[in-house]
Structure 1
Amino acid sequence: MITKEIKQKILKALEVSRSNFAGSDSKFAVSLGIASSQYSRTKNGELDRVISDAQWMSIARKIGVNLNDTTEWKTANTPVFQFITTQLEACQAGSLSAMLCDMSDIGKSYSAKHYAATHKGVV
């Protein structure tokens, strides 16, 4: 059973995620894997028996909500982070897609996820 506090934490993160989403509420709901009516009801504060616990967990994973008490990652402005961000900005500005390949464990995925979470219209 997911507590009300955890649901509220996910809902707060949903508000931030929604502000970076360029489409409608309906399209945002679809991107989360729920119906638009479910999103509307939860957005208005109705948390009980609208979305299943499994769906809450899925949404939390999709938007990167830390559900346990571990320390959250801090973003460091490393050369890799700067390079990935610059590449993604160029792709977004030119409506391009690209594949980023490099050594493992240098921060490519984290940088891309951070970029998507902090920029509008990024999938």
Structure 2
Amino acid sequence: MANTKRQLFQKRRLRMRNKLKALANGRARLSVHRSSKNISVQLIDDVNGRTLAAASTLEKDLGVVGKNNVEAATKVGQAIAERAKKAGVEECYFDRGGFLFHGKVKALADAAREGGLKF
């Protein structure tokens, strides 16, 4: 029986998450979520179950409200890098979820790396 798009997405997401848990070593996880209208990212401490920092295109101060393009993803990546520095995090793991690593997700990751995050 053929898998649906949703089932394939969930398989990719769980495969990535399980690999990250095996390699985590107490590092924070940079989790990305992309919808058709917005993109958001969270820096999560899985040991304590807390969100250390977050950024999204829904924030008015980033100036990209409701946009979901490469430029908006770049601004969100820069914002999460700044907020991670304030939270005292320099190294993390990049959790792309079930999303493929190209386009907006890649732009966000590159901007976060340029901002000083190591993953």
What TM-score, normalized to structure 1?
Answer: 0.26
Rg: which structure is higher? 1
Give the number of the structure whose residues are more often strand, by fraction. Answer: 2
What TM-score, normalized to structure 2?
Answer: 0.27
Give the number of the structure whose residues are more often helix, by fraction. Answer: 1
